[in-house]
Amino acid sequence: MAKLKVFSDEWCNAWADKIRESKEFPIHNKGWEGDIGCCISKDPKANLPEDKYLYVNFFDGKVLDVRMADKETAENTKFVISGEYIRWKQVARGELDAVKAMMQGKLKLKGNLPYVVKYVKGVQETIKCLVALDSEFPDD
Amino acid sequence: MGGNHNRFLEIDLSARSTAVTSIDPALFSAFIGGSTLAARLFLDTLDVKRDPLSPDSSLFIMTGPLTGTSFPGSSRFVMCARSPLTGIWGESASGGTFGAELKRAGFDGVIIRGKSTHPCVITVEDQNAAIVDAGDLWGKDTYETIDILRKRGGEERPARVLAIGPAGEHLVKFANVCNDKAHYIGRTGMGAVLGSKRIKAITCRGTGTVPVASEENFRNVRKAALEEIKNSLMSRTFHELGTAAAMELGMTTGDVPIKNWSVGVDYAMGLALGGTAVAEKMLKKRVACYACPIACKPVVVVDDPKYGIAEGPGPEYETLGSFGTMIMNDNIYAVARVNDLCNRLGVETITGGATIAFIMEMYEKGLLTRDDLDGLDMTWGNIDAAIVLVKKIAYREGFGDRAAEGSRALARSIGGEALDCVVEVKGLEPPMHDPRGFHGMGLAYMNSNRGACHLQHSDQAIEMGMVSWNEVGLKDDYPGPVSEGKAEMVYIGENIGQMANSVCVCHFVHWCMGLTNLLDGLNAVTGYGFSLDDFMEAGKRSWVLKRAINNLFGVTAKDDRLPKRILTPLAEGAAEGIIPDMKLMKREYYRIRGLNDEGFPKPELLDSLGLGFIKERLYG
């Protein structure tokens, strides 16, 4: 099976499907309300000439939406996480823990921190699903 | 000389005398301050045969070069003595305002020897000190004592107060010292040392300043450090959720000990006892120590018919673990209640909770019976029985007298299987961080000079990925449940942590501001002009000095070990089935640190660090 091109619709859908398949996600996301915007800074040297924006929305253990979006949409979500492409790539490959990345300032979080901490296991499960995808990155 | 007055208040309680002394100025740049300078001065009069609670034992209350300046996190000071709990080097630091006040009173430290014939209070005020009778305070709890002494000051600006409670008076081996009803000098039993000298409290008021070598450099570094802290998510986490955030986060990484270190994960309990639960259910406000831009300390009110408490310090992560997950109690109000009780009675909550968790396991296994326990039903989760036992410990009543010796002594008195269930290193119960989730923490527990500890080094921040200090050779990411490569990480983390404890800066603030800002701050205040290598070398000197003291107390390689329980795999959680490779890490660490097979610093290492004068005592 062909690899999924990162930032494509297929890649977004595959991630959403993976989360839906997870038995852990509905347990640890139960009660969650809120959308998340992921802002990925451009990196022309890594074959990423433009900034990318990803929109993710969960509600009470269910996946409502995972799609590419525009800047305005991503930046007007309940939680905004932004950072360099290389950091996002490390997270998506399981090479960098997302919580550690935020603590070390490699990814920036805007939004209600206590809420994220309360649902940290759910957050980690979504990343686990992302890492499980057979992804092809722009600079691969 | 910036950062120090070179003035120490020496008190001989037996002679009821006070004196002001100074030391060779070169000792400041070599041993910096805080617990390291205390260790260097302690060595001069060390008699290994002396009991920690004997009148001749020395107690040091020390500040560091940054204490009392306006540098972020510079509230810290430390109490040091031979620990009555462990029998080896003891030190315990605290924040608040007392340290800054002592420095502003014109003293870098207070050295106390002897024993008062009557209960007393030591009062320190602007370069003067007095020993005052305090028989009327003996028997009172810490909060009452502090309230009375602050009122007695009778001025607009009340004195800062350190006080012991009944536990210190009764020489409970893990008695703490209450610092202004908000902070605690907890670990290693410094409250018992004060009690043995019949010191109920120490008050301090200072209006002077701390000399700074370069005001301009200091202003610039301070500004940079504050900016770094402001931009740090860790800083935000500490402010919004306090240390209790480690509960939710730790459940996902295998960090939280459960049921006397026998269960790997319990997410529901993590949510019931975590930072968000504290914030939602009881938090009134957060307060800051002196010169702290973060403000992580929770002030809580519990409105509960059974466990209600008035406004006061809320439980930190360690207490939520020790009186929560460790004893299988998921009632956060009850944790706040027992925390308040320990604060008032002067009982340290890590050893206190860990000892009670051990007792619950002994009860479950039939190794302690209800008869042994004065009729208490020490079933897992029975917080009401735990509350009763805390009181018995503080007054050494009935079974409380045995428990007041700490878990190691209790396990030895029970014998047999108890020795496999007790969790301690060199006599000190570990804090609430499971080495099976973070193997480097295990090695750091093994090596720590005050027994199992998470603040004698910076490994927690490094291994959990809260910081990334490439400038000293550390990697960005260290997987937790892995032993390979951890020896060097721990070695570097220890050297950094020792410097934080010498300089006397809060570890949390230090993690948020970074390493370079701390070094620059030290240089701006002292004028030492240290390079990063000099800084690390001084940290190395600190660790080796304390290790040599412990060697004189009888510590050898066989004491650098993890308890059997920690070397037993967990059946669930992030560290499922994995245990630290103690032998591998120890072998690598000894090579890197320069210890011989007996666990002594090699003579050439002592020479290279300017500690050659200890060789004869160590090697004869």
- Cα dist. B352→A90, B131, B323, B456, B477 in Å? 42, 31, 8, 20, 34
What is the C-alpha separation between B98 and B100, in angstroms, rounded?
A: 6
Strand partners, B595: B601
With a cut of 70, say whether residue B3 has pLDDT above it: yes
Chain B: give the shortest CA distance to residue A81, in Å.
Answer: 12
- With CA atoms as reference, the chain B residue closest to A95 would be B477
What pLDDT score was predicted for residue A104?
86
Question: Shortest CA distance to B355 belongs to which of B375, B334, B333, B378?
Answer: B378
Count each helix (H run) and each strand (E run) in chain B, helices first.
Answer: 27, 15
Beta bridge partners, A84, equal: A41
Pairing of strands B8-12, B17-21: antiparallel
Do residues B530 and B32 lie in contact, with contact meaning Cβ atoms separated by under 8 Å?
no
From A87, which residue of chain B is nearest by alpha-carbon distance? B476
Residue A1 has pLDDT above 80, yes or no: no
Phi first, then psi, for residue B219 (nearest 5°) are -60, -45
Q: Express as a percent the part of chain B with pLDDT over 70.
A: 100
In residues, how long is chain B? 620
Length of chain A: 140
Domain-located, residue A69: yes
Q: What is the pLDDT of residue B140?
A: 98
Is residue A58 domain-resident?
yes
Q: What is the domain range of residue A58?
A: 4-133
Residue A10 within any structural domain of the chain: yes
Taking residues A83-106, report their average pLDDT. 93
Query: Does the distance separating the beta carbons of B467 and A104 come in below 8 Å?
Result: yes
Q: Specify whether the backbone of B148 is left (phi greater than 0), alpha (psi in -120 to 50) or beta.
A: alpha
The b/e string for A95-128 (b: 16+ C-beta within 10 A; e otherwise) is ebbbbbbbbbbbbebeeebbebbbbbbbbbbbbe
pLDDT value at residue B476: 83
Q: Does residue B220 have a pLDDT over 90?
A: yes
Q: What is the pLDDT of residue B156?
A: 75
Q: What's the average model confidence in pLDDT over B188-202?
A: 98
Residue A8 CB contacts under 8 Å (≥ 6 apart), including other chains: none
pLDDT value at residue A28: 94
Query: Does any domain span residue A139?
Result: no
Domains defined along chain B, listed by start:
8-205 (3.60.9.10), 243-421 (1.10.569.10), 439-619 (1.10.599.10)
pLDDT tens column, B557-597 = 999 999 999 999 999 999 999 999 999 999 999 999 999 99
Could you report the per-residue pLDDT of B313-348, keeping only the tens digit for each? 999 999 999 999 999 999 999 999 999 999 999 999
Q: Which residues of chain B lie closer than 8 angstroms to A105, CB-CB?
A: 231-233
B227 alpha-carbon distance from chain centroid: 28
Two structure tokens written together for B328: 């299988």
Distance from the first to the final alpha carbon of chain B: 37
**CATH code, domain with A77:** 3.30.1050.10
Q: How many CB atoms lie within 10 A of CB B304?
A: 15
Lowest-confidence segment of B152-156, B197-201, B482-486, B537-541 by average pLDDT: B152-156
Q: Which residues of B touch A (CB under 8 A)?
A: 231-234, 236-237, 240-241, 245, 248-249, 251-252, 267, 271, 274-276, 279, 464-468, 476-477
Q: Total structural domains in chain A?
A: 1
- List, in order, residues 6 or more apart from A134 with CB less than 8 Å away: A1, A3, A4
Per-residue confidence (pLDDT) for residue B155, from 0 to 100? 67
Per-residue pLDDT reduced to its tens digit, B517-554: 999 999 999 999 999 999 999 999 999 999 999 999 99
Q: How far is CA B19 from the centre of its chain?
A: 29
Instruction: Tell whether A65 is covered by a domain.
Output: yes
Q: Is residue A140 part of a domain?
A: no
The candidate with the shortest Cα–Cα distance to B291, out of B530, B157, B103, B163, is: B103
Is residue A138 in some structural domain? Answer: no
Checking ipTM against 0.90, whether it exceeds it is no
Indicate left, alpha or beta for B382 from its phi (over 0: left) and psi (-120 to 50: alpha). beta
Strand ranges in B236-296 using DSSP code E only, listed in sequence order: 283-287
Give the 3-state secondary structure of B141-190.
CHHHHHHHHHHHHCCCCCCEEEECCHHHHCCCCCECEEECCCEEECCCCH
Domain-embedded: residue A33: yes
**Mean pLDDT, rounded, of chain B:** 97
Backbone torsions φ then ψ of B338, nearest 5 degrees: -70, -30
